[in-house]
Amino acid sequence: MFDVKELEKIKAGKKKWSEGTLAKTLSKAPEKKAKTTWSGIPVETLYTPAENAGLDYESKLGYPGEYPYTRGVQPNMFRGRFWTMRQYAGFGSAKETNARYRYLLGQGQTGLSVAFHLPTQAGYDSDHPLSMGEVGKVGAAIDHIGDMRILFDQIPLDKVTTSMTVNAAATALLGMYLSVAEEQGAKYDQLGGTIQNDVLKEIICRGQYIYPPKPTMRLTVDLIEFCQKYVPRWNSISISGYHIRESGSTAAQEMAFTIADGIAYAEACAARGIPVDSFAPRLSFFFNAFTDVLEEVAKFRAARRVWAKIMKDRFKAKDPRSMMLRYHVQTGGVTLTAQQPLNNIVRVALQTFATALGGHQSLHTNSYDEALCLPTQGAVTVALRTQQIIAEESGACVTVDPLAGSYYIEYLTDKIEAEIEDYIKKIDAMGGTLTAIEQGYIQKEIQNSAYLFQKSIDSGERAYVGVNKYTMEEPPVTDLLRVDMKVGEEKAKELKEWRAKRDNAAWKKSLDKLREVSKTDTNVMPTVIEAVKAGATVGEVCDVWRDVFGQYRPKEFIS
Amino acid sequence: MAEKKIKIIVAKPGLDGHDRGAKLLSRIFAEAGMEVVYTGLRQTPEMIVEAALQEDADVVGLSSLSGVHNYFFPKVVELLKAKKLANVLVVGGGIIPLEDIPELKKAGIAEIFGPGTSTEVIVDFIRSNVKAK
């Protein structure tokens, strides 16, 4: 971007400044400690064109909506329309959650995002012994198609787009969703949304796995293949770095390990014989946003460039849409503090600002009370308004990729890109993502970063407002949102009635068929849909596969 | 006085998958000279107490971020007592509202460590409260 002569001049100028003007200041007031990004990348006092010497504009940045998509996947980004504001929500019963959805849609939210309670995610019914105490706690208790009907009562599924956070049990829940949409009169090809369906990160760090890696990947690909044929507007996977970051990774590791997972899914789809340009445009991603605005912006730009290169060079994609890294963001849950919780509003605002400058497709903003409990309605409203303020008032959305060309941002983008590519090389050399996970490599890398971060907080080397600096005594927060234990009892009673009133013969036949199909190479999705329509519960569908596939028991790696 | 190493079970009750804190503390406890057994995810109170019995543990550390602490933590204490393991020190941590803590303490959980607690505070608490057996 800069000619050689000019660069030489700038290099000399910076050296002179560093040894003169800067040195004089530092001799009087030395900097106490080395400066780094929040993830620990060393940061210099000043960035100039000299640190951007390798930056070729056309090949590395280019234009938004064009390869390598560093500057964004759409030509005019938020000038055309803002991102989808999508708040992840769900608690208690399907009925309570339906009320929260209708409230959020009434407040200008533009998409839904379903939080299922842990039993649903782990493939257990609400009355299973392992569900004790968990029913309705961190999401809605959805056991069967009847619950799904209530969840979307009076919400037209051909109009809203819905994101569903469910992975190992994804096929069963998508089956219910598609069936309810059909009952409402919608056609499969009118439905838009996303299902997380990313089982690898469950094994790496999120913990909602059910089956061993190979069969669980088979279900993932069955769902992707089914959607590619029949639900063309559906994002059939959301490859997630969010939880990797929450577990303690650095920003670069978040992108590296997510992209490594993405490669594994793309390879599995290709092995199934699906042409790359048929599945790749429907691969979507999900990332975190922390408070170090500049590091986050660089991280998003770097990941777009790396993914585009991988899809083009490694997977030989031809369709530009296959090369676009499209992603949802959630602000960093783990960055929120239980101390002085109102401070979290500021953190979320900065994280939202970073996300907007980074150029995303949809966003969930956390509520300030989430280090204490599930978000209360008032806190959720502030979180949604934060997105609206950044979108409408901050100036982040009036031009595309506004930080491009900043010497620091471009340096950091290159630096993170190099770190991502380094990890991908290492993982390839190990034999691929699944092997790296089996060996605990990825898990240990993340845990080590979490450890180093904690050490820096404990020692006070890194300041955390309200936690290890600027602390104060404060009264406990009351009026927290609570889910009554009664939800569990009521759900158990309701399940009993559900099982008693369904057509027993049809139900049994559908599950027997599912068992047979699962033992073959045939795609399970159509049979799953038959089973949930016949009244089979999440737990019953997942139990069939527990029998056929076995259950995953992880090795624990403590590092 | 040659002291026996403190033995601690770090456990994740229920279906909650948030194990960053549990794994981090496992490493910190080990570095502090304790003997650590991390159970992994999806533990029932029965499994946790069985582990405490088998391992002859001095301490059980429970971690929960899914809001099930009021159900699981007292249950673990109750089962420990039933197995005549009332001497085992039980501590907990995670996303636990401050207003829940008095009840949990009444139920026999010695201390609750919320988000942002320094790991030194936790190690010191365990060292000074572990009971003689």
Cβ atoms B5, B37 nearer than 8 A: no
Q: Is the Cβ of B78 closer than 8 Å to some Cβ of chain A?
A: no
Q: What does the alpha-carbon distance between residue A356 and residue A390 come to, in Å, rounded to a whole number?
A: 8
Nearest residue to A76 via CA among A403, A400, A327: A400
Q: Count of A–B CB contacts within 8 Å?
A: 110
Which chain B residues are within 8 Å of A132, Cβ to Cβ? 14, 71
Q: Is the Cβ of A440 closer than 8 Å to some Cβ of chain B?
A: no
C-alpha dihedral (A481, A486, A489, A494), degrees to nearest 10: -80
3-state secondary structure A325-370: CCEEEEECHHHCCCCCCCHHHHHHHHHHHHHHHHCCCEEECCCCCC
Contact between A132 and B71 using a beta-carbon 8 Å cutoff: yes
- Give me the percent of chain A exceeding a pLDDT of 70: 100
Contact between B68 and A334 using a beta-carbon 8 Å cutoff: no
Sequence-distant (6+) residues with CB within 8 A of B44 are: A129, A130, B13
**Overall domain count for chain B:** 1
Q: What does the alpha-carbon distance between residue A36 and residue A30 come to, in Å, rounded to a whole number?
A: 16
A123 CA: distance to closest CA in chain B (Å)? 11
Task: Choose between A224 and A477: higher pLDDT.
Answer: A224
Residues 334-353 of A with CB under 8 A from B: 334, 337-339
Q: What does the alpha-carbon distance between residue A292 and residue A107 come to, in Å, rounded to a whole number?
A: 29
Position A108 pLDDT exceeds 90 = no
Max alpha carbon distance in chain A (Å)? 87
Q: What is the pLDDT averaged over residues A323-345? A: 97
Closest chain B residue by Cα to residue A244: B20
Q: How many other C-beta atoms can be found within 10 angstroms of the C-beta atom of residue B82?
A: 10
Task: Choose between A288 and A2: higher pLDDT.
Answer: A288
What is the model's pLDDT at position A559?
62
Residue type, B35: E
Cβ atoms A397, A74 nearer than 8 A: no
Contact between B99 and A480 using a beta-carbon 8 Å cutoff: yes
The mean pLDDT value of chain B amounts to 94
Cβ atoms A258, A244 nearer than 8 A: yes
- Give me the percent of chain A exceeding a pLDDT of 90: 90
Q: Is the Cβ of B102 closer than 8 Å to some Cβ of chain A?
A: no
Which chain A residues are within 8 Å of B71, Cβ to Cβ? 132-133, 485
The mean pLDDT value of chain A amounts to 95
Bridge partners (DSSP) listed for residue A287 = A329
Q: Is residue B38 part of a domain?
A: yes
Which chain A residues are within 8 Å of B118, Cβ to Cβ? 457-458, 468
What DSSP assignment string belongs to B33-54?
T-EEEE--S-B-HHHHHHHHHH
Which chain B residues are within 8 Å of A478, Cβ to Cβ? 99
Q: Is the Cβ of A122 closer than 8 Å to some Cβ of chain B?
A: yes
Q: Is residue B11 part of a domain?
A: yes
Q: A109 pLDDT band (50/70/90 cuts)?
A: confident
Q: Give pLDDT tens digits for A495-527.
A: 999 999 999 999 999 999 999 999 999 999 999
Q: Is the Cβ of A458 closer than 8 Å to some Cβ of chain B?
A: yes
Distances (CA, A) of A488 to A52, A119, A134, A140, A205: 58, 11, 8, 11, 27
Which chain B residues are within 8 Å of A451, Cβ to Cβ? 24, 27
Q: Give pLDDT tens digits for A283-297.
A: 999 999 999 999 999
Residues 364-403 of A with CB under 8 A from B: 371-374
Instruction: Give phi and psi for A511, each to the nearest 5.
Output: -75, -35
What is the span of the domain harbouring residue B107? 7-118
- Out of A130, A467, A558, the one facing B27 most closely (by C-beta) is A558
Bridge partners (DSSP) listed for residue A292 = none
* CA B12 distance to own-chain centroid: 9
Reported ipTM: the value is 0.93
Q: What is the pLDDT averaged over residues A8-16? A: 97
Which chain B residues are within 8 Å of A375, Cβ to Cβ? none
Contact between A337 and B38 using a beta-carbon 8 Å cutoff: no
Q: Is the Cβ of B82 closer than 8 Å to some Cβ of chain A?
A: no
B17 CA: distance to closest CA in chain A (Å)? 4
Q: Is residue B64 part of a domain?
A: yes
Q: The domain spanning residue B16 has which CATH number?
A: 3.40.50.280
Angle at A308 between CA A307 and CA A309, to 5 degrees: 90
Range list of H helices, A50-185: 94-106, 118-121, 145-151, 170-183
CATH 3.20.20.240 in chain A, residue ranges: 63-458
Which chain B residues are within 8 Å of A334, Cβ to Cβ? 20
Position A91 pLDDT exceeds 90 = no
Q: What is the pLDDT averaged over residues A13-36? A: 95
Residue type, A486: K
Position A177 pLDDT exceeds 50 = yes
Q: Give pLDDT tens digits for A47-84.
A: 999 999 989 999 999 999 999 999 999 999 999 999 99
Range list of H helices, A272-342: 276-279, 293-309, 320-323
Structure tokens, A431: 């034999």
Position B133 pLDDT exceeds 70 = no
Position A28 pLDDT exceeds 90 = yes
Position A539 pLDDT exceeds 60 = yes
Cβ atoms B6, B127 nearer than 8 A: yes
What is the model's pLDDT at position A404?
98
Range list of H helices, A61-132: 94-106, 118-121
Nearest residue to A420 via CA among A194, A195, A244, A557: A244
Position B4 pLDDT exceeds 90 = no
Contact between A131 and B97 using a beta-carbon 8 Å cutoff: no
A212 CA: distance to closest CA in chain B (Å)? 15
Contact between A447 and B66 using a beta-carbon 8 Å cutoff: no
- 3-class SS at A481? strand
A505 CA: distance to closest CA in chain B (Å)? 32
Position A558 pLDDT exceeds 80 = no
Contact between B115 and A118 using a beta-carbon 8 Å cutoff: no
Cβ atoms A73, A64 nearer than 8 A: yes
Number of residues written out for chain B: 133
Which chain A residues are within 8 Å of B95, Cβ to Cβ? 338, 371-373
Q: A349 pLDDT band (50/70/90 cuts)?
A: very high
Position A205 pLDDT exceeds 90 = yes
* CATH topology for the A63-458 domain: TIM Barrel (3.20.20)
What is the model's pLDDT at position B1?
46
Q: What is the pLDDT averaged over residues B92-112? A: 95
Contact between A207 and B19 using a beta-carbon 8 Å cutoff: yes
Contact between A558 and B20 using a beta-carbon 8 Å cutoff: no
- Out of A130, A464, A485, the one facing B15 most closely (by C-beta) is A130
Instruction: Give phi and psi for B35, each to the nearest 5.
Output: -95, 125
Q: Is residue B127 part of a domain?
A: no
Contact between B119 and A246 using a beta-carbon 8 Å cutoff: no
Nearest residue to A68 via CA among A401, A291, A328: A401
Q: Is the Cβ of B27 closer than 8 Å to some Cβ of chain A?
A: yes
A46 CA: distance to closest CA in chain B (Å)? 33
Tokens 């303490």 found at: B105
Cβ atoms A327, A285 nearer than 8 A: yes
Q: Is the Cβ of B83 closer than 8 Å to some Cβ of chain A?
A: no
Sequence-distant (6+) residues with CB within 8 A of A389 are: A349
Q: What does the alpha-carbon distance between residue A52 and residue A333 come to, in Å, rounded to a whole number?
A: 33
Q: What does the alpha-carbon distance between residue B13 and residue A15 come to, in Å, rounded to a whole number?
A: 58
Q: Give pLDDT tens digits for A229-253.
A: 999 999 999 999 999 999 999 999 9
Q: Is residue B130 part of a domain?
A: no
Structure tokens, A432: 């691929």
